[in-house]
Amino acid sequence: MKKLTYNVAIVGATGLIGRKFIETLEKRHFPVNSARLFASKKSEGKKVFAFGKQLSVETLENNDFKGIDFAFFGAGKEVSLNYAPLFAKNGAIVIDNSSAFRMDEKTPLVLPEINGEKVFGSYGKIIANPNCSTIIALTPLANIYKKIGIKRIIFTSYQAVSGSGMKGIKDLLRTRYGFSPEYYPVDISENVLPKIGEKTANGYTEEEMKMVNETKKILNADFPISATCVRVPVENCHGISVEAETENEIDVTKLKNEMAFDAASYIETPTCKDSDGKYYVTFGRLRKSLAFKNGFAYFVTGDNTLKGAALNAIQIAEYIINNTNNIG
């Protein structure tokens, strides 16, 4: 018999994404029976009003994780590597927002609008939430990628400082008022930083390779993909330029209606303001490619803390609930 309510845990509950988990679960009326909030020792015992009651923040060390149906992880890679398997071992479905398990062959990497079916059989396992830029860039392709025969994709992302968490936001505000940066290597307030993450052996950064490898896994693709990721002085919402080469000629006048759906809204000239706080991405600047004989280009914006993180994770849980007869 299908459950009516679920026991949830939020790991990293006092951080930027953790707070978005709480806010979004509440706004979407997720069927929460009980909730447990976990964070670092400095937040232990802190009171947080969530789900209609005062909850005390717990630490992960030497704790009991039994009886949890869904565990939403938003505390970073190391915490996920150390504790997500323990939650899963105790029967929870772990939905992890970090990069810890994304490229693990046995771990589903899920964007529900594209490959939601990958969640099946996930009871007691870990599901990876894709990188924020990957989610935002791919969502407008959900309805068309299978039928248009993509041969190549080039991404260029313009990523808000909230992608670095509160430390990124604080650095933007600090440098706007003339103080030296404490997190970024440069003053980000009137600047762009074409390096997100460390460089890898091939010269691309970790963030760029996330977009490349995650796109291949989500789309089950073997075509060439390239990405350039740039940090920009915007507090929230990423913008991404996408150019795709296709097998056959594309009629871009028809693409707008084919690409638009409830998770991807068409706006002729999308900006970050159009997506801030929204549960959908906005795409536009749709045009025929000049670089490829057959292909098209578009620009998409999305709230990296919502559809790019917390919302997508919660939609994964909702997909499981709506498509599974019994959980737990």
The catalytic residue positions are: 132, 238
293 Cβ contact partners less than 8 Å away, ≥ 6 residues apart: 249
For residues 51 and 33, give the distance between their C-alpha atoms in angstroms, rounded to a whole number: 9
The C-alpha atoms of residue 279 and residue 28 are separated, in whole angstroms, by 10
d(CA 101, CA 262): 28
CB neighbour burial string for 296-314, b if at least 16 within 10 angstroms, e if fewer: bbbbbbbbbbbbbbbbbbb
Q: Which structure tokens are listed for 64?
A: 């009991």
31: Cβ–Cβ under 8 A, 6 or more apart, which residues?
3, 4, 5, 6, 321
Coil vs helix vs strand at 102: coil
Pick from 121, 164, 143, 100: which is nearest to 305 by CA?
Answer: 164
| Helix boundaries (H) for the chain | 16-27, 77-89, 112-115, 132-138, 166-176, 206-219, 252-259, 272-275, 311-323
Confirm if 162 and 236 have CB atoms less than 8 A apart.
yes
Per-residue DSSP letter, 309? I
